Amino acid sequence: MKLDENNKWFAAKAGLEESKLFIGVSCSLNALDAIGTFSQLASNVAGHIYKGDGEMFKKSAKQLFDASDAIRNAIRKELAIDGGAGDGR
């Protein structure tokens, strides 16, 4: 069971790292910082969950969603799209 969970996490983490590389070569430092913050937070949450802290996601959900919104907003700024996450559009 843990092996399957590890494989899923490694695949998700690899996809996130690929996105970081793409953002790094195509967007500003603001966008790269935003995805770096999300990546670090997600890795921390995953580590706690792996060690048996079943409440970690619930404790960190707002931070994860805020970090995800920061990525979206940074990319929208790069693309010169008005609005962003959470603005009701």
Question: Which one, of 26, 54, 60, lies nearest residue 41 by Cα?
Answer: 60
Alpha-carbon distance of 60 to 77, in angstroms, equals: 26
Please tell me which residue, 29 or 82, carries the higher pLDDT value.
29
Q: Are 78 and 31 in contact (CB under 8 A)?
A: yes
Residue-wise pLDDT for 6-56, tens only, equals: 888 889 889 989 988 988 888 889 999 999 999 999 999 988 988 889 899
Residues 33-42: pLDDT tens digits? 999 999 999 9
Q: What are the helix and strand counts (H, E) for the chain? A: 3, 0
Q: Is the pTM of this model over 0.75?
A: yes
pLDDT on residue 40:
94
